[in-house]
Structure 1
Amino acid sequence: MTLAGLHRRGVTPTAINAFVRGVGITRSDNSIINLDRLEYHIREELNKAAPRTMVVLHPLKVVITNLGADSIINLDAKRWPDAQTDDASAFYKVPFSNIIYIENSDLRMKDSKHYYGLAPGTSVLLRYAFPIKCTEAILADDMETILEIQAEYDPVKKTKPKGVLHWVVAPSPGVDPLMVEVRLFNKLFLSENPAELDDWLADLNPQSKVVHMRICHVLAAECCSWGPISV
């Protein structure tokens, strides 16, 4: 990585300086610092001021059966994770209705001990919203593809689920969809130290940058991103 490359991806000088101070000085030659350490300092810096938004790339429809079709609940959402509760400008309103969307990968038909998503009969917390419990999964004719799920929400928030999911609300009638571009960045190389390889170019990660462009009919409130999300 170069300083120019880090800057182009939205990394602040403060985060880079914090990383350098945390690493310190060593007399060892060819020492390698794990990339996760740099990512930690970047994340800590961006959590203080970088605006966030929730985006669902592969939507799965969720129908809240115990909430009226005409009911809209406006919820407070943080513009960034470390927002202070006494700063009104750090919050904005997110609508919650009886139809929302979650990521398709956040639902499984069978629950397990270390699974924190949604499954029939289990509950999750919707970020900034309410706990919901999956009561039924509606399948397609192939009995494998999940078309939508039905759930009940807990308006008094007595349920204590182990997982938290991001989500988006269905658009209001008559609202035009938006074209959204989302850039997903991953590590540039597949191995930890490509300098040790004879052919380091062959170690490039083909998924280091993935761009999603689509008509997005479901947009709302918080997705962590190091760089800007173009809308």
Structure 2
Amino acid sequence: MSNSEDKKDFIREIIAEDLASGKHDTTITRFPPEPNGYLHIGHAKAICINFGIAQENVGSGARCHLRFDDTNPIKEDTEYVESIKKDVAWLGFDWGENLYFASDYFDYFYECAVHLIEAGKAYVDLQSVEEMRAARGNVNTPGTDSPYRDTSPEENLVLFEKMRDGGFEAGGAVLRAKIDMASRNMNLRDPAIYRVLNVGHHNTGDKWKIYPMYDFAHPLEDAKEKITHSLCSLEFEDHRPLYDWVVENCPTPATPRQIEFSRLNLTYTVMSKRKLLQLVEEGIVSGWDDPRLPTLSGMRRRGYTPESIRSFIQKVGVTKFNATTDVALLEFELRAHLNKVAQRRMAVLDPLKVVIDNWDGDTVEEMECQNNPEDADAGTRKVPLGKEFYIERDDFMEDPPKKYFRLGPGRAVRLRGGYIVQYVSHETDSEGNVTEVHVEFIPGTIGQSPPEGVKCKAAIHWVSAAHAVDAEVRLYDRLFTEESPDAYEGGFMGCLNEESLEVKGNAKLEPSLSEAAPGTVYQFERVGYFCADSEEHSAGGNSVFNRTVGLRDSWAKK
């Protein structure tokens, strides 16, 4: 992203002022995911903001760190670490040498905790979770001091060492910051900053029995890495006073500034990790990369492009006001990009066989079709046509209405890139279903107007029967029927879209698609955009395609 005027927002204005005033001679941001799940489109906003700002200010030596906030080993896994790296790189961002883990700083966190204890600003609390919760008060009632609040620093150091050495059961003791139990900000009512877990860590092994709380570790990580601007979503606004308190009261080498922006919310979508996990664990979706999920891995498998996501994030903008964005805007940006870059191919999802009665036996002709009319350099391709071919079942009607311009009795239609064909007859089965249509082609009509007396007002796609590639095509749609699944009175699981996946197991594709590389997106002419499945499709082998998005918004009037 370039630093153009139309992309200015309040965060970029703050950063520009800090550089102009000399407060900072460079800009250092960070993207700090917790490795306890897969990233989703909401995280993409934070990624684009943090890495984007660093890119825009690269001339002053700006950089963005990728840092894993791995302070809770119970929920974390290296699988998530690798998936997050893959997602950030896929979006087009590079952290270079600036890859960090909170667990790299565990010794430093411990030293800061000891510093607070020695200064009389932290104490070990041996109350139960229930007792501490009851004493915390609420927004209208101040909290009550813990009976351990005035324990001497010397006693607290002994107790803290006992926590470190595994002398307490998990949850048996916590280290709390001594701030203000009467504060109107609940986050300042002596928050826990260390807890006993007694479990190993994926990065540090069995060294630690205690682990820092996020609100304690995060500002220290930022300060340790000399982050200039700690950018986060609005739910952390009430945590900022605690962030500043930790930085001010611990031995830190820098003073980062926390700035909050509105998180990304989309219609017909849930973003909660807990809810996404429920969908996965209950088998509602096939996994974290199910193309119906808003996870970046799911969107990548569905055929979303990083360019379309970055463009969408830019259009949404950076504000201080929470709002919900119509998912149709995301789909619009995807169509706009794919329309420019996706090559065109022909695919018949619900095939009906057509026979050309006046075609010469086994003769095969090659029709020249455009690869992408939006790209002058895309060129053309040859598509074979023989005596028999497939069309979509709904491109033929036995008794078509007046404004139906496709194939039917007494009608003619153009084959995309090929001849005009005229209806001759059709066959049906015992239940009256059309099983085969017979036509005649009109010579000399490739690229030419129909001859006098022949009306042809439409062109349809087709696939040669002798050359067709058999494929499974999955028609993915929105996972929920309600605009706001989180607010649905029956709960988000009560508004699942039962038609979010339809499988076409007998699709017929033009032969060039047999060599499609997994992950490649095409426009199936007149049908939509489709991606060769990254997991199950193989070039020259099993053909599986996922619908990325339709050619138009089918939900616009729903």
Cα RMSD for the two superposed structures: 2.9
The alignment status of 1:190 with 2:481, answered yes or no, reads yes
Indicate the structure with greater helix content: 2
1:220, distance to aligned residue in structure 2 (A): 1.0
Look at both structures and tell me which one has the larger radius of gyration over its CA atoms: 2
| Correspondence for 1:202 among 484, 488, 494 | 494
Cα distance in 1 for residues equivalent to 2:459 and 2:477: 23
Which residue number corresponds to residue 340 of structure 2?
48
Q: Identity rate of aligned residues, in percent? A: 31
Which residue number corresponds to residue 309 of structure 2?
16
1:145, distance to aligned residue in structure 2 (A): 1.5
Equivalent residue runs for 1:206-221 within 5 Å: 206-214=498-506, 218-220=508-510
1:26, distance to aligned residue in structure 2 (A): 7.6
In the alignment, structure 2 segments of 5+ residues that lack a partner are 1-39, 45-295, 512-522, 538-542, 544-558
1:51, distance to aligned residue in structure 2 (A): 3.6
C-alpha distance 38-131 of structure 1, shift in aligned 2 (>3 A): farther
SS at match of 2:304: coil
Cα distance in 2 for residues equivalent to 1:31 and 1:179: 41
Equivalent residue runs for 1:5-154 within 5 Å: 5-23=298-316, 30-33=323-326, 35-84=327-376, 87=377, 90-142=379-431, 144-154=432-442
SS at match of 1:225: strand
Indicate the structure with greater strand content: 1
In the alignment, structure 1 segments of 5+ residues that lack a partner are none
Cα displacement string for residues 58-88 of structure 1 (whole angstroms, at most 9, x for unaligned residues)? 321111123222332111223345232xx4x
CA contact (8 A) 1:138 1:147 kept: yes
Cα distance in 2 for residues equivalent to 1:10 and 1:151: 37
C-alpha distance 133-205 of structure 1, shift in aligned 2 (>3 A): same
Cα distance in 1 for residues equivalent to 2:308 and 2:472: 26
CA contact (8 A) 1:47 1:81 kept: no
Report the AA paired with residue 465 of structure 2: A
Cα distance in 2 for residues equivalent to 1:132 and 1:200: 50
Q: TM-score, normalised by structure 2?
A: 0.36
C-alpha distance 154-20 of structure 1, shift in aligned 2 (>3 A): farther
Cα distance in 2 for residues equivalent to 1:42 and 1:80: 16
Cα distance in 2 for residues equivalent to 1:70 and 1:226: 31
SS at match of 1:36: helix
Moved more, 149-158 or 18-27: 18-27
